Amino acid sequence: MGFLPIHLLFASFLCFFSVLVSGSGRNFPILDFEEGYNPLFGDDNLIVLKDGKSVHLHLDERTGSGFVSQDLYLHGFFSASIKLPSDYTAGVVVAFYMSNGDMFAKNHDEIDFEFLGNIRGKDWRIQTNIYGNGSTNIGREERYGLWFDPSEDFHEYAILWTQSLIIFYVDNVPIREVKRRARMGGEFPSKPMSLYATIWDGSSWATNGGKYKVNYKYAPYIAQFSHFILHGCAVDPTEQSSTCDHSSKPIPSGMITPSQRAKMESLRKKHLTYSYCYDRIRYKAPPPECVINPEEAKRLRVFDPVTFGKGTRRHHAKIRHYTHAESASA
């Protein structure tokens, strides 16, 4: 067996290295729905298309719907292409997130993409958030306006989670980087989690702090999912291991390239509308991991204050929603 010329070996290394550095999921395998996920709730409101590669989640007066990964993962790259409902979507929440709340009720971890609907003529918004070790007393939300209409076509939303950082991507452009800092203590997600996707009624908080509710005359609201990537180290749930052998599935390092960082900074200047680090109503002093950017603080002051739902955190609301939906449809 002959050896590859040195220039081909170098090219192969560069290709592999670019995947590890950028966090791109383009070279990771795309799964059929049934290869990686199971229905979670919603019965007939979850529809797997004939090709087996796409899923529609419906929300109507009876129930929302959702699915969950078959495996637990400790770190990895996870993504899906999503097309959101159109027209009047106030109160509607579509979520693509990681959680272990079913296993660790009092000290769960969570990494969230939440898409918040709006009244006619107003755009969808993206909210990202993380919890670690049950730290729900500190919401680490950021919100962004979108630079495209997410109801017209599919767009890729991805989470890269490593031992030291979390990066949220939209169409392979990083929009948020969360580094693990010593000042966070145990509040960085560190336990194995499942992947979830759901659509549900968030009327109490999702649009203008609950001012605008879901209007079911526009139902069913349909969120479409495809191009599933689950590239991570699966963990045996009986062991709940906190270590994982990544040799068979290398996890991207999460190093953001200069080009990607420039795009991220430009996007945040144009589209970031809220960050918990600058919320003086919720926090008299910024949470300890925050790095304050005076220009960003000044820019965000022009936006209306963000009102979050009262009472329990939204993760717990999601869990209760599943239970209520299932009992209501029984």
Q: How far apart are CA 56 and CA 22, in angstroms?
A: 30
| DSSP code per residue over 44-107 | GGEEE-TTSSEEEEEE-SS--EEEEESSEEEEEEEEEEEE---S--TTEEEEEEEE-TTT-SSS
Q: Please give the residue that has the higher pLDDT: either 234 or 247.
A: 234
| Confidence class for position 318, pLDDT limits 50, 70, 90 | very low
Q: pLDDT tier at 244 (50, 70, 90 boundaries)?
A: low
Residue 139 is assigned to a structural domain of this protein: yes
**CATH number for the domain harbouring residue 231:** 2.60.120.200
Mean pLDDT, rounded, for 123-134 = 93
pLDDT at 315: 38
Q: How many other C-beta atoms are found inside a 10 Å radius of the C-beta of residue 188?
A: 22
Tell me which residue has tokens 């699966």: 234
Answer yes or no: is pLDDT of 9 > 90: no
Residue 268 has pLDDT above 80, yes or no: yes
Domain assignment present for residue 198? The answer is yes
Residue 114 a catalytic site member: yes
DSSP 157-214: EEEEE-SSEEEEEETTEEEEEEE--GGGTT-S--S-BEEEEEEEE-TTTTTGGGTS--
For residue 121, CA distances in Å to 87, 114, 206, 270 come to 8, 20, 16, 20
In a domain, 19, yes or no: no
- In a domain, residue 169? The reply is yes
With respect to residue 327, please indicate whether it lies within any of the assigned structural domains.
no
How many domains, in total, are found in the chain? 1
Is 258 inside any structural domain? yes
* Active-site residue, from 34, 35, 114, 289: 114
pLDDT digits (tens, 9 = 90+) for 290-302: 989 999 999 998 8
What is the predicted pLDDT for the residue at 185? 85
**203 vs 305, higher pLDDT:** 203
260 or 18: which leads in pLDDT: 260
314 within a domain of the structure (yes/no):
no
32-56 mean pLDDT: 97
Q: State the Cα torsion 154-268-118-45 to the nearest 10°.
A: 40
- pLDDT, residue 246, reads 56
Catalytic residue among 61, 110, 141, 187: 110
| 35 pLDDT above the threshold of 90 | yes
pLDDT tens across 47-93, in order? 999 999 999 999 999 999 999 999 999 999 999 999 999 999 999 99
Report, as an integer, the average pLDDT of 171-192.
93
pLDDT tens profile 230-240: 999 898 877 65
Say whether pLDDT at 316 is over 50: no
- Out of 29-43, 77-91, 296-310, least confident range: 296-310
12 burial class (0-12, 13-18, 19+ CB within 10 angstroms)?
exposed
Most confident of 12-26, 130-144, 158-172: 158-172
Domain that holds residue 74: 33-238+249-303
Residue with tokens 């963990």: 235
Q: Is residue 67 a part of any domain in this protein?
A: yes
pLDDT at 130: 95
